[in-house]
Amino acid sequence: DQQVKQNSPSLSVQEGRISILNCDYTNSMFDYFLWYKKYPAEGPTFLISISSIKDKNEDGRFTVFLNKSAKHLSLHIVPSQPGDSAVYFCAASAYYGGATNKLIFGTGTLLAIQP
């Protein structure tokens, strides 16, 4: 039972263009969402988060959008840079409503930025 789904295993984007990574979830109890980035042989690194009371959060080149009715979130990276090439994981938790610190991760999307 995959509660957090990233349906695109990979994505290729030209340098300077926008990268859009998508994530869907099924559990309506989730109220906190995060994106992590992972390079080979390293641990995931936190990028950006959003709580369910917001529909958008922005940090520099990274913006996360949350559509609660569709149970969908997306990460926009603009402009895309070669260093953005990595695997991106979406994660979700019922932090506030469920009083848990447990994160459920998606399977990841490999983003390749082409020069």
| Contacting residues toward other proteins, per CB under 8 A | 32, 34, 36, 41-46, 49, 51, 89, 95-96, 99-108
Q: How far apart are CA 10 and CA 87, in angstroms?
A: 8
Q: How far apart are CA 76 and CA 2, in angstroms?
A: 23
Q: Give alpha helix (H) positions in 1-115.
A: 95-98
Tell me the closest approach of the beta carbon of residue 102 to other proteins, in angstroms. Answer: 6
Tell me the closest approach of the beta carbon of residue 94 to other proteins, in angstroms. Answer: 11
Residue 59 sits at φ, ψ, to 5 deg, of: -145, 95
Closer residue to other proteins in complex, CB, 28/46: 46
Closer residue to other proteins in complex, CB, 5/79: 5
Tell me the closest approach of the beta carbon of residue 16 to other proteins, in angstroms. Answer: 28
Tell me the closest approach of the beta carbon of residue 25 to other proteins, in angstroms. Answer: 14
The CA-atom distances, in angstroms, between 25 and each of 73, 81, 83, 85, 112 are 8, 28, 28, 24, 24
Closer residue to other proteins in complex, CB, 7/14: 7
Closer residue to other proteins in complex, CB, 15/59: 59
Amino acid, res. 42: E
